[in-house]
Structure 1
Amino acid sequence: MPRTLRPGQRSELYVVEVGTGDSRLVYSSSTVLFEAPNWTPSGDLLVNGDGRLFRVGDGLEEIELGGVPAINNDHVVSPDGRTVYVSADDGHLYAVSLDDGTPRRVTNDRGPGYHHYLHGVSADGTTLAYIGLEHVDGRRITNVWTIPAAGGDDVQVTDDEHADDGSEFSPDGKWIYFNSERAGHAQLFRIPAGGGEAEQLTFDERVNWFPHPAPDGSAIAYVSFPHGTEGHPADVDDVRLRLLAADGEIRELATLFGGQGTMNVPSWSPDSARFAYVVYPL
């Protein structure tokens, strides 16, 4: 079931300027709990809510998905801006034309209960990075996978029982960034896109999720939860938006009430000057 707002709660979409750290409110709703902003190459902002996808303008303009099952907050836009890839509640990934709403299922059947959660598309538009969730002997196992955007064979990138999530390509396509609990609690990592040894990028006591590399490779935006947080829950106080620079310096840009839905998917503007996020004040 899609998340809904609590009594007296709002969804507020902000854009933060990386250079100055200044945030501006773009859109607010007291009726729709919207999540996970994406930018299109032309500068539009997309969010999901109530199992649907919207373009943000003066209001929320619904985007036709051609009968795709209700979607969640894992969706990305193709580099050419013509296609949106969505994760649906039936466990599959779909490519939907932004021109006419025609859908196409991308993923393969991998058995009952298997779910694909989309997080990234390569800069050349040919490959999707997703998290595969399967249930093994009562345990939830998540790993990083890739699949051709046109459909084809899945490639497993990680193969372990650590909780992995948030897989996105580096701009040059050589790396996949992700968060993992292999360090004890969620920290940021990267791994060669074809598989190999994972490299840890953050080492602090906070719980770090959803690394989003800037299109120009200058920094990684991510969501940081308080120490001791399990998973990436909604409605958490003291959630911080941080930037990890190429030289390893960490910079905080905002502290907010939110978490789940705030910045689950690629949310940088095409020029890497700003990124979008959602807060959920009560």
Structure 2
Amino acid sequence: MNFKFLLFCISILQMSFAQENAIGIFQNNKDIGNPKLAGSASYDDATQTYMIKGAGYNIWGQRDEHRYLFNKIKGDFIVTANFEFEGYNEVHRKIGWMARATKADDAVMAGGFLHGDGLMTGQWRERKGAEMRNPENNVAAEKRFQQIIQLERQGNLFIVRTAHPGEPLQEISSKELPYMPEEALTGVVISSHDVDKIETAKVWNVRIDQPVADSYNPYKDGWIGCRMETMNVFDGKRKVILEKDGRFEAPNWMPDGKDLLFNMDGSLYTIPISGGETKKLNTGFADKINNDHCISFDGKMLGISYKDGKGSNVFVLPLSGGEPKAITTEAPSYLHGWSANNKEVVYVAQRDGNKIYNIYKKSIKGGLEIKLTNNKKLEHVDGCEYSPDGKYIYYNGSKNGGTMQLWRMKPDGSNKEQLTFDQYNNWFPHISPDGKWLAFISFNPDIELNSHPNYKQVMLRLMPVSGGAPKVIAYMYGGQGTLNVNSWSPDSKHIAFVSNSKK
């Protein structure tokens, strides 16, 4: 046989084997430790959900047995997913995230696991062949068999966080592992803790993010990858519909409910909500549009913020496309909302050389702008948006150097009322079309004063307009551009947003 032809056949077989093992976003799908009963996994592309089955005596002691879906990841990462056992069984079965040095059953490893009895814990094996260890502060999951688990790598430090659905993530373990190689095998895992039984779990909202350094400057170093996602806000299930190296931002849901409108490369594009071909919207001369675009309540008009040579100014045009009309001529002015009667726009701006931002409104037919806030030094406002009934303008604001919180006021600027009072920096309140819900993005307390930076661990949260405690609906790596504009679906059940990850 021809030697080159033989090599070709071998390479084809190797490619076929690799393709058989790959599943979803994971390049590897196999058992570790040679369990008595073989595991398996399946992936539903429509829901982007994994079903993973596995046996094995345990993930403990000096060696492990489990089913493993994993990728080789070099450097730092943040991996997050929802995990849920199938069926009721309080034995010591485990599901969760893991990072391993090798495929050897006694490899250095770190992970976070939900157990069959509801226990949540972090675990690690510091050296090859060493005994497994875990911290003393294990967290009981109150017999709940669904959990959000996150594993983060920062150099040699491995951090496990967990949360019940709707709650912020809490750190439950952290451990330095100097013998973990720079490239680790990282993925989702299941073990039955019973060599004669196969257990099953469902895993969804699986996200593998590779963060950038705190010193990273996207304007100098370039923009990392983006994902366009949609989510049902009531069950928390997310779906990625577009991925790209580079930058896109700020999706709106189009009035027909079939497409999203988003900003990319200074222009606006549409994409079907299920993914597919992107189409450029005709915005005439406006080819330097930022991510502050919004659609009028009647679905006929589009507002944009365009860099017109003076800086950012507010323009309007038909949603079907056309030449923009200038509403403001004094920069900087950043659009955020339409009035419920579709006759005015509301925006934030700096005026008279003052570096402080305030909220203004102005008729799209012209006339004088009306100032609605009067901020002092260290105070800031953004994200102003009318409620669908026209009774309020919602916005985010800070007072006297404090955290950013959500507020609302009457359309004339009176009766300012604070809505959130927590430790997070809350930005961009968006009201659902039925007027019942507020979706917004929350940054951790340690960000720079009055900032909403790129590339941070953030939460999307939901709260009733009538009042009540916010609940977490998504955990992600993102920030600026994630949720800057109103992205509610017309049926008030879904939102769209952008998350980030270094490729």
TM-score by length of 1: 0.90
Greater helix fraction, Structure 1 or Structure 2: 2
CA contact (8 A) 1:34 1:50 kept: yes
Judged with a 3 Å threshold, the aligned counterparts in structure 2 of structure 1 residues 269 and 6 are, in CA distance, closer, same or farther, namely farther
Judged with a 3 Å threshold, the aligned counterparts in structure 2 of structure 1 residues 273 and 131 are, in CA distance, closer, same or farther, namely same
Matched, 1:158 2:379: no
CA contact (8 A) 1:82 1:98 kept: yes
Equivalences, count: 272
Aligned equivalent of 1:74: 292
Judged with a 3 Å threshold, the aligned counterparts in structure 2 of structure 1 residues 69 and 92 are, in CA distance, closer, same or farther, namely farther
Judged with a 3 Å threshold, the aligned counterparts in structure 2 of structure 1 residues 170 and 100 are, in CA distance, closer, same or farther, namely closer
TM superposition shift of 1:190: 0.6
Q: Distance in 1 between matches of 2:381 and 2:406?
A: 10
SS of the equivalent of 2:496 reads strand
CA contact (8 A) 1:68 1:94 kept: no
CA contact (8 A) 2:297 2:388 kept: no
TM superposition shift of 1:175: 0.8
Matched, 1:95 2:316: yes
Matched, 1:126 2:343: yes
Q: What residue ranges of structure 1 are gaps of 5+ in the alignment?
A: none
Q: Distance in 2 between matches of 1:251 and 1:281?
A: 24
Aligned equivalent of 2:390: 173
CA contact (8 A) 2:398 2:405 kept: yes
Q: Distance in 1 between matches of 2:223 and 2:264?
A: 17
Aligned equivalent of 2:196: none
Matched, 1:25 2:240: yes
Per mean C-alpha deviation after superposition, the further-off stretch among 200-209 and 153-162 is 153-162
Per mean C-alpha deviation after superposition, the further-off stretch among 201-210 and 57-66 is 57-66
For 2:479, give the aligned amino acid.
G
Aligned equivalent of 2:326: 105
Matched, 1:222 2:437: no
Q: Distance in 2 between matches of 1:23 and 1:99?
A: 29
Q: Distance in 1 between matches of 2:380 and 2:389?
A: 26
Matched, 1:279 2:499: yes
SS of the equivalent of 1:72 reads coil
Q: Distance in 2 between matches of 1:74 and 1:8?
A: 18
Q: Distance in 2 between matches of 1:242 and 1:160?
A: 26
Judged with a 3 Å threshold, the aligned counterparts in structure 2 of structure 1 residues 100 and 18 are, in CA distance, closer, same or farther, namely closer
TM-superposition CA deviations, 1:140-178 (whole Å, max 9, x none): 210111111333321111112221111001111111111
Q: Distance in 1 between matches of 2:361 and 2:484?
A: 18
SS of the equivalent of 1:261 reads coil
Q: Distance in 1 between matches of 2:269 and 2:313?
A: 20
Matched, 1:250 2:465: no
Q: Distance in 2 between matches of 1:259 and 1:17?
A: 20
Q: Distance in 2 between matches of 1:69 and 1:106?
A: 17
TM superposition shift of 1:133: 2.1
TM superposition shift of 1:6: 6.2
TM-score by length of 2: 0.52
Q: What residue ranges of structure 2 are gaps of 5+ in the alignment?
A: 1-217
Q: Distance in 2 between matches of 1:278 and 1:142?
A: 25
CA contact (8 A) 1:180 1:189 kept: yes
TM superposition shift of 1:82: 2.7
